[in-house]
Structure 1
Amino acid sequence: MIHTLTAYPAYKDSGVPWLGKVPAHWEVRRLRNTVETRISNVDKHSKEGEEPVRLCNYVDVYRHERIHSNMEFMKATASVEEIERFRLEKGDVLITKDSEVWDDIGVPALIESSAPDLITGYHLALLRPKQVVEGAFLLRALQSPQVAYQFYVEAKGVTRYGLSHGAIKSAVIPLPPLPDQNAIMRFLDWAELRIRRVIRARQRRIKLLDEYKRVLTHQVVTGKFNVRTGQPYPAYKPSGVEWLGRVPEYWEVRRLKTIVDHINKQTNTKNEEELYIALEHVESWSGRLLVSSREAHFTSAVKRFRTGDILFGKLRPYLAKVVQPKQNGVCVSEFLVLRARSVIAPEYLEVVLRSALAIDFINSSTYGAKMPRAEWTFVGSMLFPLPSLSEQTAIVEYLNGQTAKIDAAIAATRREIELLQEYRTRLIADVVTGKVDVREVATQLPDEPAEEAAELMEADEITEGEAENDAAT
């Protein structure tokens, strides 16, 4: 149905270079003529003598395209005047007014339901539509790159960017008649539901592939099958370790401290050619070094490591930050530096330490609520599966081959998601700027269950939030 869309019958010059031509019966207006703009100054504090309120804050808008009154909001207080001025109403649109990066300026969210105590928080602008524009259309217009770019250009600042009241009111949007707006909203809601369905299916595929990779690693390093034959080993014995279970009969089970050396050589300097590795430089669960730098400035002591050592992140060990650097360097003290002895291959040591059950076992020993840490005394005492060196090599080669295939499938799926998101952005832009006519198509669309749309949107927002949190850690 989307492929059959055509242009409008007639166009005119919009008078705006970046917008070009628009349908002949459309208008082009500045926001000052289409919405009432209010810049919130309500902070997050609670003060005596003020009324209790719930604040819709920057993060709520950034992470949720649509705001509902039953969401979790920060509790604060506000004066009667502030409540009256910044209380949210259904159909309002909020945009992010300030940010540390310029392309996070002007992110919109539509208020779909409200409550008497729900008001606009700091760093946000409240846009209340006048009779000429629907809030849902305004949301889509502000999502289009052409309109959003106006905010990027007008954002002022060096380390933090912000929009002035005047810059917001001066932004230009294409303005179809209300019937056209309703047709556009209906069509884009229909298209977005289908795009989200596909994206959600791809996200489920990635989770399944990640889980398969972890299960496969566990099965291999605990000897559930022989990687050379693909069959179980002839005989097994109890390992004496709950997380290991039974292991092949001829495997050893030894404490980690008997097969590796814990290196705790500290220094306040580094050579020019040495790497500097901090926790944020290591990708969780993959062992990939995201960023390595030969330039570093540190005020506290760091640890020396050499090529072949294994670095294990002891702060928040559940993040599974385990890496084998390819050259000498220094790392922050939140890593355990482990050097394999002659009985264990460094690559095998890395694989087992990054396995899900080993991580879970180590994480069970941590202390500290906000910054949980593991200690060498516990990690060094854990019992470790130890096949022969030749079998360790076979295990590593097998896992490298299998995980490479899985990682390639994950990368391809992520690319599909990126393309779908790019397609969504382009579709919104083409529709709200009048490049394609959706009026006739919109009349033929079936009604969609609102519950499914809300569920898909919430699931996507949770996934995006989890990704941002992972990146932050």
Structure 2
Amino acid sequence: MITDLKPYPAMKDSGVPWLGEVPAHWDIERLKSLMSNIIQQTARRKDTDLYIALEHVESWTGRIQSAEPDVSFDSQVKRFQSGDVLFGKLRPYLAKVARPAGNGVCVGEFFVLRPQDSKATAAYMEQLLRAKPVIDAVNSSTFGAKMPRADWYSLGGMPVTLPPLPEQAAIVRFLDYMDRRIRRYIRAKQTLIKLLEEQKQAIIHRAVTRGLDADVRLKPSGVEWLGEVPAHWEVKRLKVMAQIRYGLGQPPRESETGLPLIRATNVDHGRILEKNLVRVDPEDVPSTRNAFLSEGEIVVVRSGAYTADSAIIPREYAGAVAGYDMVVTPRKARPEFIALALLCTYVRDDQLIIASMRSAQPHLNAEELGVALVMVPPEVEQVRIVDYLTSATRELDAAAETAHREISLLREYRTRLIADVVTGKLDVREVAARLPDEDDEPESLEDDDALIDAEDATSADLDAVSEEAEA
């Protein structure tokens, strides 16, 4: 199908450097001549209203995760209608662009955009506004170093492509069709990753709770729910073996050439993810906060969807900056062993996640983390266990990493395809006309992206929160 796509037969200069050439029969219009910025504020939400905050919108796809039905807010929100396009103006590089299927209210960090007349459809404008060239252009015009925002003057004045209405429909039909297929491929890869992770966790759990000797003698742990432990092991609280500190409450000024800022969205079951990694100016990091990370320290997520997830800092991220989360510095145990233990079910699920569920928003503080019980063998055995697990899980890690790379390539392909189609680099009219009719699939967020950048979306609200208040 993709091989059937060809360039348009006749092109013209758009007059816009970042757009380049566009099909000769397309128009170039200012966004504000096609869409109105609707500002209808309210402090009330109807029972039937959707509620959408930035964290409910998946980056680059626009799929919406519903908020809790009893959600409340203490400031005014904006009303939107079914079919309006919501454009996230806080950190626009996150590409939080969505078109809700119902009426509702949204946080003020969205522009609510509504087509003015019949020249442009909301469905086409949603695809256009989420295209990477458009997002990049908007991002280049933001204001605010720490919390960059788009303004309507710049966004509304931006020139955009406007194909004829039948062509807009063809573009939307083609991109929706391709998106459904890409999502299916991604879900298949994610299923494989889950199976590999489950197999890996079973191997780790056995080693860090029983050791490597299948005939080891056991003793009661002294903790009813913990059961038995190897007779020569101890059960200790984490704070006895490690120091725990908080990262930064307020993100430093961003800088493309700065240091990596390790946030919740970069922590994934023991790995530090480079995807969506933000770099910050080290000169803007408070010297009193001890925010710079060392190799072997462990970042533990303290709030939100990723609460209690953790990852050890590898050598390549030594010197990075700790974001909002907690940092564990092992002193009386091997860092690698503690990192493995923190990911085990008996620590993460049975202690940390349970402790974090004291309110609607999961949250973990240093005291709750510090009192977590950990089964600890002698140090020489810790080293053997770590070495064994490094070898035993290597092939599983490699297979999972391959699947992650394939997912990343699929997403990059989707992003590039949207950009090429809505900017007129590929002609989809004939292909779209031959596509079969398909029912829409349920809005199911991809696991890897479901809450991606949730910390980004809410970080403005965290600036005023001190760790003392959170504790």
Cα offset for 1:102? Answer: 5.2
Matched residue type, 1:40: I
1:442 is aligned, of 426, 432, 450, to: 432
2:375 to 345, 368, 384: 384
Equivalences for residues 68-467 of structure 1 within 5 A: 88-96=80-88, 98-99=89-90, 101=91, 103-104=93-94, 107-111=96-100, 113-115=101-103, 118-119=104-105, 121-123=107-109, 124-223=111-210, 226=213, 233-234=214-215, 237=218, 239=220, 251-256=231-236, 262=241, 283=267, 285-286=269-270, 297=286, 319=308, 321=310, 339-340=331-332, 348=337, 351-352=340-341, 354-363=343-352, 366=355, 369=359, 370-374=363-367, 379=372, 384=375, 386=377, 392-450=382-440, 452=441, 454-455=442-443, 458-460=444-446, 463-467=448-452
**Please, which runs of 5 or more residues in structure 2 have no aligned partner?**
246-260, 463-471
1:339–1:76 CA distance, 2 compared to 1 (3 A): closer
Q: TM-score, normalised by structure 1?
A: 0.69
Distance change >3 Å, CA 137–CA 247, structure 1 → 2: same
* 8 Å contact from structure 1 (residues 264, 337) kept in 2: yes
Contact 1:352 1:358 in 2 (8 A): yes
Q: Is the 8 A contact 2:84 2:112 kept in 1?
A: no
C-alpha displacement of 1:178: 1.5
C-alpha displacement at 1:127, in angstroms? Answer: 2.7
Indicate the percent of aligned positions where both proteins have the same amino acid: 30
- State the one-letter code of the partner of 1:408: A
Q: How far did residue 424 of structure 1 move?
A: 0.7
Alignment length (residue pairs): 422
Higher RCO (CA-CA < 8 Å; seq separation 6+): 2
Q: TM-score, normalised by structure 2?
A: 0.69
Distance 2:381 2:452 in 1: 36
Distance 1:76 1:416, change over 3 A: same
What one-letter code is carried by the residue in structure 1 that aligns with 2:270?
S
Q: CA deviation at 1:354?
A: 4.5
Q: Distance in 2 between matches of 1:296 and 1:57?
A: 28
Secondary structure in 2 aligned to 1:384? strand
Provide structure 1 residue ranges, at least 5 long, that are not aligned to the other structure: 227-232, 267-277
CA pair 446-29 structure 1, distance change in 2 beyond 3 A: same
What is the rounded CA distance, in whole Å, between the counterparts of 2:21 and 2:402 in structure 1? Answer: 37
Task: Report if aligned partners of 1:365, 1:378 keep a CA contact under 8 Å in 2.
Answer: no
Structure 1 SS opposite 2:113:
strand
Inter-partner Cα distance in structure 2 for 1:75 and 1:23:
47
Q: CA RMSD in A?
A: 5.1
Partners of 1:133 and 1:174 lie apart in 2 by 10
How far does the alpha carbon of each residue in 1:393-452 deviate from its partner, in whole angstroms, 9 at most, with x for none? 4322110113333333333322222211111111111112222221121122122221x2
Match of 2:31 in 1: 31
